[in-house]
């Protein structure tokens, strides 16, 4: 039975069979310690570090693939802007005369702590390095130059024992910023992805960016739409500064740091969280504020 004056023409005999679908699939661009030659494909987070090493792009891909089973395309950039390590801060209660300094070009953002486990000088004292909360093995302070290379990070510690050496319980800490790519590097990589005409829904930019790049991404999205490539971009804004209140942070991102770009094909994520550890207080104990 058919409707009057309506003719049906079957274009696809495989009724109910769905073709290529980009649902959830996306591309990512960012800095990594092993730059890629063209576009890489990832489906398993376990494969990421071997292919691109450490860096902001590695963090993004591993996080995404650990949550969703999608196919990711990626371009790993070398990054023209090097990261930097802060000065090393000695613990306020250190009793030894030893000092620690750091050198090198960090491959990612790190929070590093060095704990002296046993007292002594070179080839005698022992220490443990904790990177982003992950503690390493106990190691003897190297003899000779007193240098120790923290694996994977691109950073080297310099131990100087001084007259009295290091004391058990001494601590040293520092932070490192991640390397980053110029806007030109990012935009060139985006063109490579667009030219490949991948089955993707969006392109994510790994690492922190700012309004000049966001404006350029909006233009790229409009250009892609004009040639029937319907996708959007995801970028990340900076986190809250240590001395900022939440209101100051929000007002900065929605005010002077926002720029004037307006786009329905651009998402800027302000990823920030604070972690607090609660301590259980038993009967007869006092809780201090």
Q: Which residues have a Cβ under 8 Å from the Cβ of 234 and sit 6 or more positions away?
A: 202, 203, 204, 205, 267, 268, 269
Question: Which of these, 173, 150, 167, lies nearest to 98 by C-alpha position?
Answer: 167
Q: Which residues of the chain does CATH 3.40.50.11780 include?
A: 26-80+180-269
At residue 289, the pLDDT reads: 41
pLDDT 10s digits, 221-272: 999 999 999 999 999 999 888 899 999 999 999 998 999 988 999 999 987 6
Cβ burial 104-142 (10 Å sphere, 16+ → b, else e): bebbbbbebbbbbeebbbbeebbbebebeeeeeeeeebe
Whether residue 20 has pLDDT greater than 70: no
* pLDDT band per the 50, 70, 90 thresholds, residue 68: confident
Query: Average pLDDT, stretch 142-159?
Result: 96
Alpha-carbon distance values, 2 to 5, 25, 204 (Å): 9, 40, 48
* pLDDT band per the 50, 70, 90 thresholds, residue 145: very high
Query: Average pLDDT, stretch 90-98?
Result: 96
Whether residue 125 has pLDDT greater than 80: yes
Residue 156: other Cβ atoms inside 10 A: 15
User: What value does the mean pLDDT of the chain take?
Assistant: 89
Query: Average pLDDT, stretch 77-105?
Result: 96
* Residue carrying structure tokens 């209140």: 245
**Domain at 26-80+180-269: CATH code:** 3.40.50.11780
pLDDT 10s digits, 177-209: 999 999 999 999 999 999 999 999 999 999 999
At residue 287, the pLDDT reads: 45
Whether residue 8 has pLDDT greater than 90: no
At residue 288, the pLDDT reads: 47
At residue 162, the pLDDT reads: 93
- pTM for the model stands at 0.79
At residue 69, the pLDDT reads: 87
Residue 140: enclosing H or E segment and its boundaries?
A: strand 134-140
Pairing of strands 89-90, 147-150: unpaired
Query: Average pLDDT, stretch 55-75?
Result: 94
Whether residue 110 has pLDDT greater than 80: yes
* pLDDT band per the 50, 70, 90 thresholds, residue 277: low
At residue 270, the pLDDT reads: 86
């Amino acid at each position: 039975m058919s409707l009057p004056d309506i003719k049906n023409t079957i274009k696809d005999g495989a009724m109910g069979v769905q073709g290529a679908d980009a649902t959830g699939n996306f591309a990512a661009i960012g800095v990594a310690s092993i730059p890629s030659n063209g576009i890489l494909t990832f489906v398993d987070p376990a494969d990421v570090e071997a292919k691109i090493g450490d860096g902001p792009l590695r963090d993004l891909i591993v996080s995404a693939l650990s949550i969703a089973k999608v196919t990711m395309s990626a371009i790993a950039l070398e990054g023209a802007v090097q990261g930097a390590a802060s000065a090393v801060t000695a613990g306020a209660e250190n009793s030894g005369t030893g000092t620690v300094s750091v050198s090198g070009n960090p491959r990612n953002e790190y929070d590093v702590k060095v704990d002296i486990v046993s007292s002594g000088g070179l080839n005698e004292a022992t220490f443990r390095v904790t990177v982003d909360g992950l503690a390493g093995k106990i190691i003897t302070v190297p003899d000779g130059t007193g240098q120790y290379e923290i694996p994977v990070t691109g950073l080297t510690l310099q131990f100087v024992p001084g007259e009295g050496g290091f004391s058990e319980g001494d601590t040293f800490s520092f932070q490192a910023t991640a390397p980053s790519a110029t806007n030109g590097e990012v935009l060139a990589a985006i063109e490579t992805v667009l030219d490949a005409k991948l089955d993707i829904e969006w392109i994510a930019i790994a690492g922190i960016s700012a309004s000049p790049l966001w404006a350029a991404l909006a233009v790229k999205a409009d250009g892609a739409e004009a040639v029937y490539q319907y996708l959007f971009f995801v970028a990340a804004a900076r986190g809250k500064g240590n001395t900022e209140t939440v209101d100051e942070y929000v007002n900065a991102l929605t005010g002077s740091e926002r720029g004037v770009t307006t786009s329905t094909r651009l998402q800027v994520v302000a990823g920030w969280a604070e972690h607090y550890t609660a301590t259980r207080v038993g009967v007869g104990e006092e809780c201090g504020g």
